[in-house]
Structure 1
Amino acid sequence: MIYLKRIILSIGLIFIGHLGWSQGIVFNTNLEESLQEAKKQNKLIFVDFYTSWCGPCKALSANVFPDKAVGDFYNNNFISVKIQCDDTGYGVALGKKYKIAAYPTLMFLDANGDIVHSAAGAPDVQGLIELGKIASDPKKNQLSLKKEWESGNREEGFTYKYFESLIRAYQNDKASADFQEYFATLSKEQKANKSTFDLMQIVKEPPFSNTFDYLEQHKEDYYQTVGKGRVDSTIAKSYLWYLKNLQYSGIMNKDLTEFNTKLEQFKAKNYPYYEEYVAFYDVFDFKDSDNKSDAEIFMKKGTSFLQKYGLNNDDYTISLTMMLANLIWGKDRGVAGIEWMETLVQRNPDVRYLDSYFHILFRNLRWDQALEVAKKIKEDKLKNNLSTKDIDQKIQSVADARLKYGG
């Protein structure tokens, strides 16, 4: 009888283990042990590099990794590991070793620990399965693309694929270095053709780099092949966001030296939008007399700026709105942001803007309006056969917040 009970218990444990296995990815937390297991089973290793503060990382763990289809595919084909990159040592060291620059980074390694494929971001269920299929395919993964690039393949279609793969993996330094080397081999005619210009957009070579300088110095050539409007717009937007990112980095590091230096260099180029950009950057200087951030100052400056320049670029409104949403929380604490977005969506009812509109409404505890916007977002996703998981979560977040904060 005891023997029979042991058999039943063993079968039960096997069943429970299999059930858990079939309903999500089984993760280890030690890479070295996983490397040994990968050698035994002749499998690749799938690594989720994440942090404790990363929202998309949490969404993956809550909604994608536990999915049965994902679990079945990944448990069959990979040894899976989760590495927390903001822990006290182990994960931090591995993050540095593999040069992780964005979270989550989903990386595939061979049994020697060498990178086979990598991508940054949080895909949905089908996206994660497709990513695993690409990583497993020796004709499609990044390792194969790298080998083909190093062998000298510079065909247009392959070149696009190669650089897109690097950018998706946040290997921006590698992409920039390889693109500059590639660009230097081109003739003047090849440099100015549309396909090369399109590659510049993929790699996003920044202002003051050699290739960007070439673009500026040979604008007339690109006007002929690409069109004046697109070339001028590319140059203008590149400076706008390059300098904005420098400003943000300088504020975070409490050192604006590089930003101020580059701003002076930009001024010397005499572009007509210099004063407009300076006014935009000035909005982000919103300290009070005690040198503390003041949302009221930000809203006042933002409103004044948008009244003067808002029609020139919709991205101004989106950027200022999202910044304000991070500054405030509470009933109508950031009404100016709601007004900014209302003006924008009335002028340009682009569904892409609704996420920002939802966010500022949510941060102002405008539950009913936030739900109305969320409904429009969901309708658009259903219309285009897209997953509604993200917006469903936002709708649930409204219900949860309303229960907690009232209203």
Structure 2
Amino acid sequence: MLTGLLRKRALLLFIACSLGAVAMAQNRKVDLKENLPFDEVLTMAKEKNKYIFLDFGSITCKPCLYIKKEVLTLDSVADFINERFVSVDYNVGKEKERLSKLYQVKGEPVLLILDQNGVLMHRMAGKMEGNQIMARFKQGLDIKNNFVSLTNTYTAGNRKPEFIMQYLEALYAAAETETMNKVTLEYLQGPVERIKDPGIWSVFYKYNQDLASREVMYMFENKEEFYKLFGKDKVDAKINKLFSEKSIFYLYGHKPPIEDPKYTIILNALRKTDHPKASEWLCYLVPAQYKYKDWHKLGQEIDNIYSFNILKGKAGTSFKDMMLTQYSMYCDENTALKYPIRWANDLIATAATEAEKKKYEGIKANFMKREKEPNKEKLDWSKSD
């Protein structure tokens, strides 16, 4: 009886130790240094005869944190990267700003593979899982198929369909949307009706993200026909994604939307459609035409949106909150600050917590102080990024 009990205890101890060992084995991670001077990184790479892996993100970016905590801590990923790379996370500071400009990093997260001399080899962007990041890192080390090599091949004139598909996927993984749109539209040349073909549709659906392109506008204007061909859910998913993203981009961007020819195409398309979400998107697009041009008129349009009760509940509160930010950051017409002051009063009255109330009271106080000051010289927003 005693012998059996001892054996049972020994077995339990063995299992506990085994589980502990497994847990330890699953606790390896990429040796990711932070915000080092880049000269040091180059020196380390040459001394260790390794490539360079740069991770551009921030401590508030959820996809960035996911990659660091859930992906770069996988044994297979950590072992692969640590063996081959000097790895640095740039999340804040002047060196991050300098390198972002040097390597044209926009958005986050963006992951770059460089050679020992700091020459770009491969670019990746967005949230990734373990299998995805492994495949992309391996592609990055393939000198015939990494991002830079594919770009050079395309520039040299290769337009073979199988190569274009490979290049488009690399652009998609790198979030190089502008270039991806250009390559896609070149591939889709010919009668616009071609996108009804299932093979052409699959390329258009994934890679064409240019809302103002003739293909997207054709699909939007003939959505009922495309519902029948490819399914309402799928077609609406693309329509909703493109219009939602672009509407927000125009209202919260850093350049006057009215100066972009595509803005007018999109605005006119929404004004004549019967799409059920058109009114919501117009709440962003109609005021956007006055941003940086006429802050009084923009404020009037925002007031109109609320007078017609188009944005309701949380959506309306969130929109008003974001407009306070826009006026706080960009408005250079102090006589137009009466609008955000009024919106701040609304948010103070409906604040769910005391902290929220104090936040909006502080914003209102700042607007009221600025309202009494002379207008600053108008900023040249055309030079903004």
Q: Identify the TM-score tier after normalising by the shorter chain.
A: 0.5 to 0.7
Displacement of 1:37 after TM fit?
3.4
Output the CA distance in 1 between the equivalents of 2:124 and 2:98.
Answer: 19
Aligned pair 1:266/2:273, yes or no? Answer: no
The alignment partner of 2:97 has SS state of helix
2:206 is aligned, of 188, 202, 214, to 202
Name the counterpart of 1:383: none
Greater shift, 140-149 or 276-285, is seen at: 276-285
Name the counterpart of 2:56: 49
* CA 1:253–1:153: 2 relative to 1, 3 Å: closer
Output the CA distance in 1 between the equivalents of 2:179 and 2:266.
Answer: 26
Is the CA contact 1:163–1:202 (under 8 Å) kept in the aligned structure 2? Answer: no
Is the CA contact 1:31–1:81 (under 8 Å) kept in the aligned structure 2? Answer: no
The alignment partner of 2:123 has SS state of strand
Output the CA distance in 2 between the equivalents of 1:282 and 1:188.
Answer: 30
Is the CA contact 2:248–2:284 (under 8 Å) kept in the aligned structure 1? Answer: no
The alignment partner of 2:124 has SS state of strand
Output the CA distance in 2 between the equivalents of 1:303 and 1:30.
Answer: 49
1:62 is aligned, of 55, 58, 69, to 69
Deviations 1:11-30 (A, max 9, x none): xxxxxxxx9xx932223423
Name the counterpart of 1:252: 252
Aligned pair 1:133/2:138, yes or no? Answer: yes
Displacement of 1:301 after TM fit?
5.6
Output the CA distance in 2 between the equivalents of 1:33 and 1:132.
Answer: 23
Displacement of 1:232 after TM fit?
8.4
Output the CA distance in 2 between the equivalents of 1:266 and 1:250.
Answer: 15
Displacement of 1:68 after TM fit?
4.1
* CA 1:91–1:191: 2 relative to 1, 3 Å: same
Output the CA distance in 1 between the equivalents of 2:159 and 2:79.
Answer: 38
Is there any run of 5+ residues in structure 1 with no aligned partner, and where?
A: 1-18, 305-318, 328-363, 365-407
**1:245 is matched by which residue type in structure 2?**
E
Deviations 1:340-396 (A, max 9, x none): xxxxxxxxxxxxxxxxxxxxxxxx9xxxxxxxxxxxxxxxxxxxxxxxxxxxxxxxx
Displacement of 1:172 after TM fit?
0.9
Is the CA contact 1:207–1:238 (under 8 Å) kept in the aligned structure 2? Answer: no
Give the alignment of 1:4-15 within 5 angstroms. none
Output the CA distance in 1 between the equivalents of 2:247 and 2:192.
Answer: 35
Is the CA contact 2:267–2:282 (under 8 Å) kept in the aligned structure 1? Answer: no
**2:57 is matched by which residue type in structure 1?**
Y
* CA 1:154–1:24: 2 relative to 1, 3 Å: same
The alignment partner of 1:99 has SS state of coil
* CA 1:144–1:239: 2 relative to 1, 3 Å: same
Output the CA distance in 2 between the equivalents of 1:238 and 1:126.
Answer: 26
Give the alignment of 1:3-402 within 5 angstroms. 23-28=28-33, 29-84=36-91, 86-87=92-93, 89-184=94-189, 193-212=197-216, 228-230=228-230, 240-253=240-253, 257=258, 261-262=264-265, 264-267=267-270, 270-273=272-275, 276-279=277-280, 281-282=282-283
The alignment partner of 2:29 has SS state of coil
Is the CA contact 2:192–2:215 (under 8 Å) kept in the aligned structure 1? Answer: no
Deviations 1:4-61 (A, max 9, x none): xxxxxxxxxxxxxxx9xx9322234233332343344443211111113212222333
**1:130 is matched by which residue type in structure 2?**
A
The alignment partner of 1:34 has SS state of helix
CA RMSD in angstroms, aligned pairs only: 4.6
Deviations 1:209-237 (A, max 9, x none): 355457679x79xx7xx885439887766
Is the CA contact 2:37–2:95 (under 8 Å) kept in the aligned structure 1? Answer: no
Is the CA contact 1:164–1:202 (under 8 Å) kept in the aligned structure 2? Answer: no
Displacement of 1:162 after TM fit?
1.4
Greater shift, 253-262 or 242-251, is seen at: 253-262
Deviations 1:77-118 (A, max 9, x none): 11212112x42x221121122222231111111223232222
Is the CA contact 1:101–1:170 (under 8 Å) kept in the aligned structure 2? Answer: no
Bigger Rg over Cα:
2
Is the CA contact 2:150–2:167 (under 8 Å) kept in the aligned structure 1? Answer: yes
**2:115 is matched by which residue type in structure 1?**
D
Which one has more relative contact order, counting CA pairs under 8 Å at least 6 apart? 2
* CA 1:164–1:320: 2 relative to 1, 3 Å: farther
Displacement of 1:179 after TM fit?
2.7
TM-score, structure 2 length as denominator? 0.56
Output the CA distance in 2 between the equivalents of 1:283 and 1:182.
Answer: 32
**1:271 is matched by which residue type in structure 2?**
T
Displacement of 1:173 after TM fit?
1.4
* CA 1:118–1:251: 2 relative to 1, 3 Å: same
Output the CA distance in 1 between the equivalents of 2:109 and 2:161.
Answer: 30
Q: Tell me the number of residue pairs that the alignment of Structure 1 and Structure 2 aligns.
A: 277
Displacement of 1:148 after TM fit?
3.9
